[in-house]
Chain A
Amino acid sequence: MDNILGNISLLTDFAPVINLELIANGLLVGAIFGLIAYGMAIVWGVMNIINVAQGAFVILGGYVAFFFVEGMLNVLPGSPQIIWIFLSMVVAAGAVALFALIVFRLVIDKVLDRDLFVSLLATFGIELVMQQGMNQIFTAEERVIDAQFQTFTFLNNMLNIPGSRALGALLGIGAAVLIVFLVRYSRFGRAMRATAQNPRAARIMGIDTRRVYEMTFALNGAICGVAGSIVAFVYIIHPFQGLIYTLRSFVIVILAGVGNIPGVIFAAFGLGVYENYAGFILGPEFQNGMVFIIVPIALLVRAAIMRRKRQYLK
């Protein structure tokens, strides 16, 4: 307890600049998780499916990016790595989108009009297959694209921001903006939103909703691929880390509220800052627990608010 109070006073009295670092780190982390959560929110909102395999898609994207960069550097030694890193985003997006398409055809298509719980279990099964399959194929070794970015320092070395994180956050935000425009202004985006609002009416209007679902899931795959290639040079790629990304995106989408797509971005940044503060004040070992405990708490608060109107979270 003294420890916690000490940390709080450290924040308020002695070193206000620590606050800046915590916030900056939170925002940078939030940008990447926000991108992943964004894909989950789209699938959830349009298809009413919670994709538990989201994290596994991200890790798959990371592996594709890692092996692409490594392979290219072997084929063309001496070429600038940064080009391959940028290209790997495109390659990973394409590869994971293709994989997502296959998964959709094989499984998701058959659970679309069933209970949400069924699709939850089905995607959980996919997650398990992908996780363990990647563990067998790529081994449990931790992979990382070593891009050797410099660390930026501000305020007399008090505020450190790793270049890889900054670049990752920028790319994540860029990808998110691209998708927002796609959803808002393209013909496919309009069909997607129509299907989300009322699938039956959309079908009457001549929209091939099954195709929309298919493309939505593939789009989610592409988002995960991009996110995975970012994760590959910012953090590490490991087959068993997928579930962490899934759960974080879960938390973000729940905090934003399902169907509230713009809210996802704010929730992602908010969660990033919150977990950094929680980790600093309570100690790093509490960071994950504090993230996950917020799911039931947020849901309970929303349930309490809705109960006053005699409604229920359904």
Chain B
Amino acid sequence: MIKTSTTQWLIALVVLGVFIVAPWILPNNMSQLVDLTVFILIALSWDMLGGQMGYNSFGNILFFGVGMYLVASIQVWSGGFSLTEYNSAMGGNLESFTVTAPTFVISLLVGLLLVAILNFFLGLIVGSQLLKMRGHYFAIGTLGLGVAAGEFASTMEILGAGSGMTFIQPPASIELAPLLYFTGVFVVAVFFVLLRWLYSTRFGFVMNAIRDNEDKAEAMGLPTHNVKAFAWAIAAFFAAIAGGIYGSAKNFIDPTEIAFSGTTIGVWMLLMTLMGGKGTIWGPIIGAIVFQLFKEFFWTFLFGWQRVALGLLIVIIVVFFPGGVMGGLERLRNILGYGKPSAGAET
């Protein structure tokens, strides 16, 4: 139930402006900024299902990982190398596998788009089957899928098996971080506009109807099954781009720790959404920013204990602040007396 008001668009533009000038304000934190765009992407894509449709998925990491591997593979192919040779040489003479600067940039950008489209169809296929399950069975089924994908990826020789795979080295004339950052910001902006539009269409309303009561929505004759699969496919589209950017920024793919890491990024994406407030469009964005701040804080000041702190953060948020930042704002507005009735920001 989102009205496109001018103030909201103005805020969005201001935020976009801040994001565009951010590299000049924080020139030493480029890798964190790239991570931030990735986090915003995956949080928004998770919220499509988890927040708007009520399907809590642990499986979005599948598209994240597949996207990462495919972008890396496309970049290797773009240089005319065979994947098997490239991966068996890994760690050794990577210098012999170089590409020219234009090839690198074009293969990265085209690769991201191509991979996103591929994952769109993957999401459609997987979703049309898995989304037959509901509630927590869906959550568990997708969890199994994500973990299994990581295990299988670590058996594939062509993808470097358990020792992972590196991205092709960027040519010296290219600064990778700003390239990835601005690509990320662009995709986030596109995704944001798309979601604003989507949630105001009939499609978005059907998604909300599925969340509120799927049986009734189906009884009303709404095409729930198609909407669910299609929504997941869109989420997969952007999750794959996020995976490609993240892998490229880290310059290394580990099958279970980075690509299909259901226990870190797979959970962070829903944690970010919960922190910001699920079921809202600003929630995931705010959540990703807050989460990234917390994460960097923990990693800097509590080194060694950072993951313990992260676990505590998860527990505290889930138990005490299920509505997140947006839920808190809503409550504040209600207390002050000029709020609208809560639109299901809470579980």
Chain A residues proximal to chain B, CB less than 8 Å: 50, 107, 110-111, 114-118, 120-122, 124-133, 136, 243, 247, 250-251, 254, 283, 285-286, 288-289, 292-296, 299-300, 303-304, 307, 312-314
| A115 cross-chain contacts in B, Cβ below 8 A | 347
* A118 CA to B319 CA, complexed, in Å: 8
- Is B267 located at the chain interface by the 8 A CB criterion? yes
Q: Are A128 and B148 in contact (CB under 8 A)?
A: no
B139 is contacted by which of A117, A136, A286 (Cβ under 8 Å)?
Answer: A117
- Is B250 located at the chain interface by the 8 A CB criterion? no
Q: Which of B123-177 contact A (CB under 8 A)?
A: 129-130, 132-137, 139-145, 147-148, 151-152, 154-155, 161-162
- Is B193 located at the chain interface by the 8 A CB criterion? no
| A117 cross-chain contacts in B, Cβ below 8 A | 56, 136, 139, 347
| A130 cross-chain contacts in B, Cβ below 8 A | 311
Q: Are B311 and A129 in contact (CB under 8 A)?
A: yes
| A124 cross-chain contacts in B, Cβ below 8 A | 263, 267, 314
Q: A118-B318, A295-B144, A307-B132 are known contacts. Are A285 and B154 too (CB-CB below 8 A)?
A: yes
* A116 CA to B307 CA, complexed, in Å: 24
Q: Are A133 and B308 in contact (CB under 8 A)?
A: yes
Q: Are B133 and A312 in contact (CB under 8 A)?
A: yes
Q: Are B135 and A125 in contact (CB under 8 A)?
A: no
Please report the total number of B residues contacting A with Cβ < 8 Å.
44
| B347 cross-chain contacts in A, Cβ below 8 A | 114-115, 117-118
- Is B312 located at the chain interface by the 8 A CB criterion? yes
A129 is contacted by which of B145, B148, B308 (Cβ under 8 Å)?
Answer: B308
- Is B270 located at the chain interface by the 8 A CB criterion? yes
A/B interface sample: 26 pairs, CB < 8 A: A114-B347, A115-B347, A116-B135, A117-B347, A121-B270, A125-B313, A125-B318, A128-B307, A129-B308, A129-B311, A132-B307, A132-B308, A133-B308, A136-B308, A285-B154, A285-B162, A292-B144, A296-B130, A296-B142, A299-B141, A300-B130, A300-B141, A303-B133, A304-B132, A312-B132, A313-B134
| B132 cross-chain contacts in A, Cβ below 8 A | 300, 303-304, 307, 312
Extra pairs beyond A125-B313, A299-B140 (15, CB < 8 Å):
A111-B318, A114-B347, A116-B136, A128-B263, A129-B308, A131-B311, A132-B305, A254-B140, A292-B148, A295-B140, A295-B144, A299-B137, A303-B137, A304-B132, A313-B137
